[in-house]
Amino acid sequence: MSPTLTIQEEVSLQGMNTLAVPAAARYLVEIEEAAQLGEALTWAREHQQPVLILGGGSNLVFSGDYPGLVIRLVLRGRSWEQVDDQGAVLLLKAGENWHEAVLYAARSGYRGIENLALIPGTAGAAPVQNIGAYGTELCDCLESVTVLDRTTLGLKTLSASDCGFGYRDSVFKRQTGQYVILEVRLRLSRTAPLNIGYRDLQEYFGDADPGSLTPLEVAEGVMAVRRRKLPDPEVLPNAGSFFKNPVVPHEQYLALRERFPELVSYPVDDGVKLAAAWLIDQAGWKGFRNTTVGVHNRQALVLINHSGGSGQDILALAAEVRQSVLGRFGVELEMEPGIVGKV
């Protein structure tokens, strides 16, 4: 075991997840260099411990304590590669704060990720969920990721097509035990059109000519819109959007629209995407609170932990919301965050 690798025992995870639910790790190690990761995984294998890879803790729910080794990636570093007049590739180590990386790119005049400002979490976690907002997804500009294969402990470079991206989905989410993301490469542009077509951004920018805006101005607009609707996890613990927008067949959409003419929807390739926030709001959950947890009063997609609730409290509320929407609309909502522990 490397002397630089310090494994701690019985460590609280409450400050390491944005829902601030109480949980503890039997063992925890912080990885500051890529070489340490293989050592930590080998230690876990030798000691027959399950492993949880943890970034910013912004997209998971601890339903209880974790009985094995939590590996917290705190790898830091960012740099530019393949720079030319048209653009460049931004390399981010897995532990880099995502929002700070967005602002860094925008201030440098590069376009591509400005619509993803203020999304909590780390760069290494961004491809797992294929994060997206305001008409942009990470897969739109991701060039490649460097990963460690947990089976062989060897490094690999995966292209965007290798990542199997879908709506809030990727091979990393479907095969959680196979890869650990160490680096992310994003191809950004100096000349690509800025995307302000999303309704909230159109309202924010009004009659402004998109060609006159800078990527930093768009990022600031996204931040302003998000802050109006979404609570700051450091002030009011939450995991961001808790449910995916469901996609239904066109026939089901037409039947729903007949019953609910104000149904909010967006056409997509394989059907019609429904606004989960509208469904939850119409089912009467927006602003709901019990003694510990609730639904945010400005954004029905966000479950909040307002008074020290547990992960089980959050999951129980999520189950009630899902059942209510299913009963009223016949539409099943899928949770975005991963669940760590027993449901």
Can 336 be counted among the known catalytic residues? yes
Can 33 be counted among the known catalytic residues? no
Gap between the Cα atoms of 213 and 73, Å rounded: 35
Q: Which of 137, 183, 220, 336 is catalytic?
A: 336
Can 241 be counted among the known catalytic residues? yes
Please tell me whether residue 215 adopts helix, strand or coil conformation: helix
Q: Which of 168, 185, 226, 322 is catalytic?
A: 168
Describe the crossing of helices 98-107 and 215-229 by its angle, rounded to 10 degrees.
Answer: 150
DSSP letter for each residue of 32-73:
-SHHHHHHHHHHHHHTT--EEEESSS-SEEE-S-EEEEEEEE
Q: Environment class of residue 9 by beta-carbon count within 10 Å: exposed (0-12), middle (13-18) or buried (19+)?
A: exposed
What is the dihedral sign for C-alpha 219, 220, 224, 225? negative
Give 171's DSSP letter.
H
Gap between the Cα atoms of 49 and 30, Å rounded: 16
Give Cβ neighbours of residue 296 (< 8 Å, ≥ 6 apart): 230, 231, 236, 238, 286, 287, 302, 303, 304
Tell me which H or E stretch contains 27: strand 24-31
**Length of the chain (residues):** 343
Q: Which residues pair with 273 in a beta bridge?
A: 247, 266
Q: Compute CA distances 47 → 32, 44, 179, 275, whole Å.
A: 22, 5, 20, 46
Q: Which of 63, 170, 241, 310 is catalytic?
A: 241
Q: Which residues pair with 274 in a beta bridge?
A: 265
- Write out the catalytic residue numbers: 168, 241, 336
